[in-house]
Amino acid sequence: EQTPFDPPKAAADHWGLNNPLPVPEKIYKMWRKDGVMCIGEKESEVIPDVAASLISKEEFLRDTEKLTQMIVDGPLKSFCFRRLAYLQNKFQLHVLLNEIRELHEQKAVSHRDFYNIRKVDTHIHAASSMNQKHLLRFIKKKMKTEESTVVLEKMPAFLTDELISSSKSHLSRSQSQPDTATEESNGKPVTMKEVFERMGISAYDLSVDMLDVHADRNTFHRFDKFNTKYNPVGESTLREIFIKTDNYIGGKYFAEVIKEVLNDLEESKYQQSEPRLSIYGRSKDEWDKLAHWAIHHDVWSPNVRWLIQIPRLYDVYKAKDMIQNFDQFLDNLFTPLFEVTNDPSSHPDLHRFLEQVSGIDSVDDESKHEFVHFDRSTPPPVDYKLEENPPYNYYLFYMYANLCALNAFRRHRGLHTFSLRPHCGEAGHVNHLLTGYLTSESISHGLMLRKVPVLQYLFYLTQTGIAMSPLSNNSLFISYQRNPLFEYLQKGLNVSLSTDDPLQFHYTKEALMEEFSIAAQVWKLSSCDMCELARNSVVQSGFEDKVKVHWLGPAYKEEGVRGNDIQRTNVPDIRVSFRHEALVDELCQLFKAFRETQRANLKK
């Protein structure tokens, strides 16, 4: 029986609130050892499934050293550079010979074209998933319809006249303004109207320019300036009110604006998204609060699977005395996940919310200098009490080690698992990419790969996913023309297009289509190229297999042409066959060289 093109419609009770929670056969004991959670019937006796997945710091550092030696090896760099150049030229020759054939194959398919194939925005942040006009309309609407709603516990001290005067000099100020920040609200709850009166802004005054959330030429190589763009009108108070899940109003406005974005996605039908929501690791109840926010406000869509982003901000929390060591940070992040896997009734909302979560992301400015290096002398998490932030690979290793144990435990329980899909290689040291290669299912950005041919070749051989955002990179790190996305695509790396932050970088309602349209114009992408990028995005995404079989075909995991269904993907078999043959050819070359080396060593 043929698999339908569309997945079955979700039940009305999509959070499963009316379904009983699974009852585990056995409740295990849990303890932390060397920064990683262990599970067993009694301490020191880890269950076999989890024990097999545990990875030691020594093993990770040994593999890191081996890879480091490989990427600086001169002859190997030359070999990989030549193979990648060969792959790029091979693709260009393929296009010259087969472009017309590919187009004919696409034309022969009824109904299907680029607009109605599935495409997933594999890298987007929920806090900036709407465009600037959408956020402006939403804020204006709330200013007019909910001006008496209490939105803050008390008026923040930093809403001073200084900020008011810097917003816009021509603003009408019919209301009397307090002279200084000393005239506080005496700790009284503050309404929406009072917040905007204090800022000297009316709904009429507010414009996209005043909102000032769009990245411009001043954010290039200035990640600090870019971060301030998350504050509408330069005010962290407005960010607190409108784009936070945990605030005085319980994240009500953020839920409403996100649901508007989700409705737009559902209307488009063929566009899906994987927005990132933040968990900071400051306390253990963050997961429960986030799950309650999602379920209470019904922030759900069949077009979306959530990723959880973990900002690398240990140093900030340590300076504020929120945590004592790095192990406490890891404990806050992962213990609730192990507890809910062990006994779903301990966190019922979280158990239901995790059904819609596909992975974990690690985020922050990669260009920051790392004062600490991860080696055998680096203290374990429980002894890491330094004021300095741990390095990128320290964060990623311990996230990966805990995730391996968690996934093994969840498989043991018959639950779905999570992938690690960090921001990696946007800037900073190439070691980040090396760690990403060892630990991640796919990465976001990967710009620095263009400078490391050995790693780039390894990413190609393993088909590790790379979600690229050229418009975002254009404003922050590298101009659009120099972006390596098209070069990666030609070589056959597993790349997809994503938006990153529509609030800062895009103008239209359909940010992903905007991303595709600009890429198509700049690099003169063919319909086949665009459909290949779209197919890659679905493969990379965290949507379940039972959904992907409807979008890509029941045999989508098969290699080569057998795994392609042009009726669903609109990617010609000629292109898929070329990609598969090129990859197999590279692997054959390597195995042949390996066997010859072995034979030569035996003769010695």
Considering all CA atoms of the chain, what is the largest pairwise distance in Å, rounded to the nearest integer? 93
- Average the pLDDT over each of 37-51, 55-69, 320-334, 521-535 and give the range with the smallest value: 37-51
For the chain, the average pLDDT equals 88
Torsion angle (degrees, nearest 10) of CA 422, 424, 428, 434: 110
Mean pLDDT of 511-535: 95
Using one digit for the tens of pLDDT, what is the confidence trace for 22-43?
A: 888 888 899 998 889 999 888 7
Using one digit for the tens of pLDDT, what is the confidence trace for 283-307?
A: 999 999 999 999 999 999 999 999 9
| The pLDDT of residue 221 is above 70 | no
Using one digit for the tens of pLDDT, what is the confidence trace for 433-483?
A: 999 999 999 999 999 999 999 999 999 999 999 999 999 888 888 899 999
pTM of this structure: 0.90
CA atoms of 329 and 169, how far apart (whole Å)? 44
Give 186's pLDDT tier (boundaries 50, 70, 90). low
The answer to whether the beta carbons of residues 310 and 400 sit under 8 Å apart is no
Mean pLDDT of 338-349: 93
| The pLDDT of residue 161 is above 60 | no
- Average the pLDDT over each of 36-45, 319-328, 553-562 and give the range with the smallest value: 36-45
| The pLDDT of residue 328 is above 90 | yes
- pLDDT score, position 24: 87
Q: How many CA atoms lie within 13 A of 428 on its CB side?
A: 24
**Rg over CA atoms, the chain:** 25
| The pLDDT of residue 264 is above 70 | yes
The answer to whether residue 580 is catalytic is no
Give 169's pLDDT tier (boundaries 50, 70, 90). very low
Query: Residues 297, 347, 445, 550: which is the catalytic one?
Result: 445
> What are the structural domains, with CATH classification, of the chain?
25-54+279-420 (no CATH), 59-127+270-275+422-604 (3.20.20.140)
- pLDDT score, position 217: 65
SS3 276: strand
Helices (H) and strands (E) in the chain, counts: 25, 14
Q: How many CA atoms lie within 13 A of 382 on its CB side?
A: 6
Nearest to 169 by CA among 200, 125, 192: 200
Mean pLDDT of 546-560: 92
- pLDDT score, position 166: 42
In the numeric block, the tokens 């709850």 are attached to 189
